């Protein structure tokens, strides 16, 4: 694609960073999800108290959900997820709980048992879905472009049924 402004040709790039997000030529978000997963792991690693026995599990879980999940899910409202992306996010969720409980994958302990030990359910994807629904509702209530291109109130009923595969 050739774009020229006032006689100056604009360079086309494959990807760039904008407001903390990686924007790619194809509009996919695999790169952004990979970056967010790395940042979430770094955020978890920076919180050494999550690996000590001095805090109660409930406190550790709150720290993870407050600091690590928010780092991971920043900007996730606009992600278009593939099954592979969902698998990576779910793997990260279990990686964090296993690290927090100091359970190696070599220990052959099922994910269900790990969740039981931590005292949580898998809820990362539910949090992501909720953020997506909140965001799209906010966008549709505004006077933005979506209303101009034909979105009607009837579409809101459709959105309530959206899972993470179709948003």
Residue pLDDT, tens place only, 65-117 = 999 999 999 988 888 889 999 999 999 999 999 999 999 988 989 999 999 99
What's the rounded Cα separation, in Å, for the pair 115 and 111? Answer: 6
Lowest mean pLDDT among 16-30, 44-58, 73-87, 94-108: 16-30
Q: In which band, very low, low, confident or very high, does the pLDDT at 156 lie, cut at 50, 70 and 90?
A: low
Mean pLDDT of 54-63: 91
Q: Which of 44, 101, 31, 108 is nearest to 71 (CA)?
A: 44
Confidence of residue 43 (pLDDT cuts 50, 70, 90): very high
The pLDDT > 90 percentage for the chain reads 46
Mean pLDDT of 131-159: 68
| pLDDT classification of 40: cutoffs 50, 70, 90 | very high
**3-state helix/strand/coil string of 2-32:** CEEECCEEECCCCEEEECCEEEECCCCCHHH
Instruction: Give kind and range of the element (H or E) at residue 158.
Output: helix 153-160
Give, in degrees to the nearest 5, the angle at Cα 157 between 151 and 159.
Answer: 75
Kindly state the average pLDDT of the residues 12-40: 83
Give the pLDDT band (50/70/90) at residue 153.
low
Predicted confidence band of residue 15 (pLDDT cuts 50, 70, 90) = confident
Question: Two tokens at 70?
Answer: 């928010």
CB atoms within 10 A of CB 114: 17
Q: Would you say 98 and 91 are in contact if contact means Cβ atoms under 8 Å apart?
A: no
Calpha distance 2→146 (Å, rounded): 27
The pLDDT value recorded for residue 99 is 93
The structure tokens listed for 110 are 């099922």
Alpha carbons within 13 A on the beta-carbon side of 5? 2
> What's the pLDDT score for residue 166?
39
Q: Helix 83-100 and helix 124-141: axis angle, to 10°?
A: 130
């Amino acid at each position: 694609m050739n774009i020229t402004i006032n006689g100056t040709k604009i360079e086309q790039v494959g990807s760039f960073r904008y407001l903390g997000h990686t924007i790619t030529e194809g509009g996919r978000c695999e790169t952004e999800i990979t970056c967010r997963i790395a940042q979430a792991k770094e955020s978890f690693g920076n919180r050494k108290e999550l690996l000590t026995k001095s805090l109660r599990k409930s406190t550790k879980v709150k720290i993870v959900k407050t600091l690590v999940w928010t780092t991971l899910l920043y900007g996730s409202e606009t992600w278009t997820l593939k099954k592979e992306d969902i698998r990576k996010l779910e793997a990260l969720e279990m990686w964090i709980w296993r690290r927090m409980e100091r359970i190696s994958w070599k220990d052959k302990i099922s994910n269900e048992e790990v969740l039981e030990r931590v005292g949580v359910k898998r809820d990362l994807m539910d949090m992501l879905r909720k953020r997506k629904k909140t965001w799209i509702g906010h966008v549709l209530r505004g006077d933005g472009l979506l209303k101009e291109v034909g979105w009607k109130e009837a579409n809101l009923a459709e959105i309530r049924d959206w899972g993470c595969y179709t948003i």
